[in-house]
Amino acid sequence: MVSDLARMIDQVSREKAVEQDVLIKALEEAVKAAARKKYGPDYDLEVTFNDELGEIEVFEFKEVVENVTNEHVQVSLEEAHRMDPESEFGDSLGIKMDTDKFGRIAAQSAKQVIMQRLKEAERDIVYDDFKDRQGEIINGIVQRFDRGSIIVNLGRTEAELPPKEQVPKESYKQGDRIRAYILDVRQFSRGPQIILSRTHPNFVSALFENEVPEIPEGIVQVMQVAREPGGRTKIAVASKDADVDPVGACVGMKGRRVQAVVQELRGEKIDIVTWHPDSAKFICNALAPAEIIRVIVDEDNRSMEVVVQDDQLSLAIGKRGQNVRLASRLSGWRLDVNSESNYNKTLKDGYKSLLELPGVGEKRATDLYEEGFRSSRDVADTTVAELAGVDGISEKGAEKLIESAIKNIDEEKARLDSEKNTEPEDTALPDSNKSVSEMVSDGEG
């Protein structure tokens, strides 16, 4: 027959999802604490749970001695024989104690220890359950609001969605269902802290993983995500199967898959682009829907100048520079977008500046241009050794060219400064000389 205590342990174990061994150990510690409170620290006590009887047993141990100096831990041979006729000097006798004698205060102490151990066990279980779920999407219900944070009820525990992880345009009220990305799981003395996010780029990746079976199957891979939460996201995808179009897989039949993600993100625009190992080709994909005419790559500075047709410039840049800014983040390259007419004008002006250098005719200017020196500024910024590598230019000639280029640039700068000082100031006009890349990095373009 199962005892009331055993039945209670089983019930609590199921309700709290705590192992029975943990409960029994907590119960043993609690009863031992109660006994210590009742009898003091001098007793040698042992507390165990008897599985067969389904009850807690408390034993006090006493050593059989000739002369008793401490009756709490020692017993005479004569008294020991009354309990066990075969007792001898040096034996340790276990004497079962009556737990009913512990009293109300001791019982209250036992209850407190049990409750404390239960809470600790529950915290450990919750932490163990969530520590490996970082990076997953989880569903919850908005419980309350705390200093800007949204406290989300996950069932067995709560999670926090901090203000910085919330999309500015989104609003929630108590009782709303919410999906979020598990950003971090931390263990504290008061319990685990689960941090959620709806702004993290990986939230978008995880949403696509839920909607596109080819991603968890490993056929389609999310290579990179760049996101401005609430506005626009660019996601680069690749396929390991030549027969599977990664963009088509993510869009889905009639756009159902991508629309499911857009709906969860409450209308956030999503551009799905094909990843390419060639950085220039990848940039062309990333700047879609704008059509790219030319890409000039600067590997050393990890930057690219992108040239588009005049009527495509605003499309490539995007509203407030968003399109090129996201493409830059997606690729990891600094981008400078230019129209075809401006680019051609820059080339002509650069070639003209080469012709203005002393001793440089059309052939020399063409040789310099073909070696990558597109303007007198390029000449001024180079070294003698690099410039002497151009066919027909000696080290001495290179020194003179560099000096002349620096002199021309300084004179041009002085002329522009002089003109600027004589012009009336108009603070209402924007800086029309600012490049697209500068505008993008400033967040104004």
Average pLDDT, integer, range 158-181: 94
Tens of pLDDT, residue by residue over 205-216, are 999 999 999 999
Tens of pLDDT, residue by residue over 2-40, are 456 677 777 777 766 667 787 778 777 777 777 777 777
Tens of pLDDT, residue by residue over 228-268, are 999 999 999 999 999 999 999 999 999 999 999 999 999 99
Taking every pair of Cα atoms in the chain, the longest distance, rounded to a whole number of angstroms, is 125
Give residue 109's pLDDT band: very low, low, confident or very high (50, 70, 90).
low
CA dihedral for 122, 124, 129, 133, sign (positive or negative): positive
Question: Which residues have CB under 8 Å from 393's CB, separation 6+?
Answer: 364, 387, 401
Please tell me the distance from the alpha carbon of residue 401 to that of residue 265, in angstroms, as a whole number. 58
What is the three-state SS of 201-241?
HHHHHHHHHHHCCCCCCCCEEEEEEEEECCCEEEEEEEECC
Q: What are phi and psi of 268, to 5 degrees?
A: -60, 130
Question: What residue has token string 């506005």?
Answer: 231
Tens of pLDDT, residue by residue over 342-395, are 888 888 888 888 888 888 888 888 888 878 788 888 888 888 888 887 877 888
The region of weakest confidence among 131-145, 245-259, 408-422 is 408-422
Residue 108 has pLDDT above 80, yes or no: no
Residue 8 identity: M
- Tell whether pTM > 0.85: no
Give residue 427's pLDDT band: very low, low, confident or very high (50, 70, 90).
very low
Planar angle of CA 409, 364, 376, nearest 5 degrees: 15
Residue 151 has pLDDT above 90, yes or no: yes
Greater model confidence, 23 or 169: 169
The region of weakest confidence among 44-48, 304-308, 331-335 is 44-48
DSSP 169: T
| % of the chain exceeding 90 in pLDDT | 38
